[in-house]
Amino acid sequence: MHIKKVLNFFWIVMPVFYLDNSHLIKQKLNLFLFVFLVGSVFSANIFASGDVLRGKEKYKVCASCHGDNGQGNKIANAPRISGQQSWYIKRQLINYKQGIRGTHPKDITGMQMRSMSMTLYNETDIEDIVAYIGKLDGRGKHSGVKGNIEAGKSSYSVCLTCHGANGEGNTALNSPKIAGLQDWYVERQLHNFKNGIRGVHQKDIYGQQMRPMAMALASDQAIKDVTAYVSTLKGVSMAKPAGAMSKLVSAVVKSPVSEPLYAPCASCHGSNGEGNQRLGAPRLAGQPGWYIERQLRNWRAGIRGTHSEDIYGMQMRPMSMTLINDSDLKRVVEFITTLRGAPQEPTIQGDIDLGKNSYTTCAACHGAQGEGNKALNAPKIAGLPDWYISRQLKSFKKGIRGTHIKDIYGQQMRPMAMALSNDEAMNNLAAYVATFKENLVTSTKQTPAPASTETTAISFQGSAENGKALYTVCVSCHGADGAGNKALNAPRIAGQQVWYVKRQLAAFKSGIRGTHAEDIYGMQMRPMSMTLTDEQAITDVSVYVNSLQGPVSPKTLDGDVIAGKASYAVCVSCHGPNGEGNKDLNAPKLSGIQDWYIVRQLQHFKNGIRGANPKDTYGMQMRPMSMTLPDEKAIKNVAAYISTLK
């Protein structure tokens, strides 16, 4: 029965003497009744709607395995169920009945339970049997799992945030009581979660939360250790939770609307969004709402948190799925933006100077002080813990993040991370980011990247004279002056930066470009590049191409320049406001390239004809950028604008 209904009923049947201060008496009695009623729920489940006598009759089938008093039986593979929360037993029975549990071919005991649960024909049957089980007081026996209790205690520090310091469980966090469960059963369930026997069904949201926790236990011995420690827990009687009760009453009376939704988050991320390294939970305080909302949506949609190695992402995905509708999601995001938990102390001993050099590329999107840039979809990173930044960079590099087809912005980050040669380079970068002084107001304005000059772009020693001789092969398509030829599908290359020409020739030669079945013109270029016998030849011809001054071709498109300028706002951070390019960001010069060629390349990036090769790090950066252009018209508009750049 709902508590509010009980209170209303109380005031209907109880005579009230209408004194001048009767409203004060009623208010105080309401609070007293609320505390009494909630305390009673904790202690005895007195409002369970099931019929105990009917439940006792139905339990006769269960008793053969779980025992007359719910004490469990190892021989029958039946755990202790006496003392377990009613809400949890009910949920598991429903899960068995619906096939959420007990359908995996290796879950033999689960399959036994599923057939039993199906004898409970309706919800009333389930309520009845749950009500009866709530009356049982049998004690289970441990089998003596050989584990190191101290080591298990250390591992359990992750578990206690949900299951409690004494294994008492937490209804608000959907965490069952585990104190009193037999050690052999705890060990088996941890193995089942780790091996995907439990916690993989798409509707098993809470099982999905447990699976990555179990996967964090590296070995069978680690599982035995934490099991041995859990077997020492005595649980806590919920009948007199004075401190907890006062907090609960306070929460009901004073909490902001969104705070209850944040309660599951607080167990890992902290009540003020400060984060917790031991739990792998980053700081949320100070992060912009638009980014938090996007990540929650990505988890909910399976764009994040589905990779087999993304343990922490797999923890977050089922959490996000508890936000059933957009209203809940937006409310919790709004609440998170009010949090002001302090940044964590640095933990990584990296070379800050080297990290600063690497950050030059990052600054174009994330800002000089990590303030972020909404226009570029770049989150604020100032204030994030260094260990978290390092972990995400490694995830992007390994493909744990940034490989989902719908994760456009993650795909942009992945090649950036791949440019960092090793773990040490990532740690150096994370150590540098940790030096940023946080400003809680995040930038939504675009920060243009510094323009690079042609003199800084050229860093190769090559001979233009030697390159001229090698260029004779190229003349027939690109022209003697490098002006290009649309009829031959050859772009203008005159004046292009040496480093970029060299990189593309090397890419054609090695098969990074020109091997896709639909890249007809790339396949033409590949054999041409193979006539350049070594790196010196490639460098020489690149230097000569840079010296050419062929004229810019006239426009061929009728795109909307104004709309194209708006779309180019994303491009400007790398390619520059005048399309001059930026070597530090590996972005080539765009000014002077024909509009039809730009259209074709954007289409190729978008369709995976370019930028899909795993070795094409820089092409992979461009591919997700092109995917932000929704259609052919948008591509033509941005190409039309680029053709105006001088």
Three-state DSSP state, 630: coil
Burial pattern 302-316, b for ≥16 Cβ within 10 A else e, equals ebbbebeebbbbbbb
- Give the whole-angstrom CA distance, residue 588 versus residue 516: 22
Among the listed ranges 63-77, 170-184, 338-352, 450-464, which one has the minimum average pLDDT value?
450-464
Contact between residue 250 and residue 238 where contact means Cβ atoms under 8 Å apart: no
Contact between residue 543 and residue 473 where contact means Cβ atoms under 8 Å apart: no
Q: 438 CB contacts (<8 Å, ≥6 apart)?
A: 286, 343, 382, 383
Residue 236: what pLDDT?
66
pLDDT digit string, tens, across residues 37-88: 334 333 334 445 799 999 999 999 999 999 999 999 999 999 999 999 999 9
Residue 308: what pLDDT?
84
The alpha helices in 99-241, defined as continuous H runs, are 108-117, 123-133, 149-163, 183-194, 205-215, 220-230
Of residues 61 and 23, the one with the higher pLDDT is: 61
Residue 184: what pLDDT?
97
Among the listed ranges 180-189, 243-252, 530-539, which one has the minimum average pLDDT value?
243-252
Element (H, E) at 410: helix 408-418
Residue pointed to by tokens 């709902």: 2
pLDDT digit string, tens, across residues 309-337: 898 898 898 889 888 899 999 999 999 99
pLDDT digit string, tens, across residues 191-217: 999 999 999 998 898 898 899 889 889
The band of 3, judged by pLDDT with boundaries at 50, 70 and 90, is very low
- Give the whole-angstrom CA distance, residue 396 versus residue 413: 7
pLDDT score of 359 more than 60: yes
Mean of pLDDT over the chain:
85
Q: 53 CB contacts (<8 Å, ≥6 apart)?
A: none
Residue 355, amino acid:
G
- Give the whole-angstrom CA distance, residue 62 versus residue 611: 59
Of residues 202 and 519, the one with the higher pLDDT is: 519
Residue 43: what pLDDT?
37
pLDDT digit string, tens, across residues 440-496: 544 333 333 333 333 333 344 899 999 999 998 899 899 999 999 999 999 999 999
pLDDT score of 29 more than 70: no
Q: What is the pTM of this model?
A: 0.64
Contact between residue 366 and residue 377 where contact means Cβ atoms under 8 Å apart: no
Residue 48: what pLDDT?
52
pLDDT score of 136 more than 80: yes
Q: What is the DSSP string of 549-585?
A: -PPPPPP-----HHHHHHHHHHHHHHH-TTS--BGGG
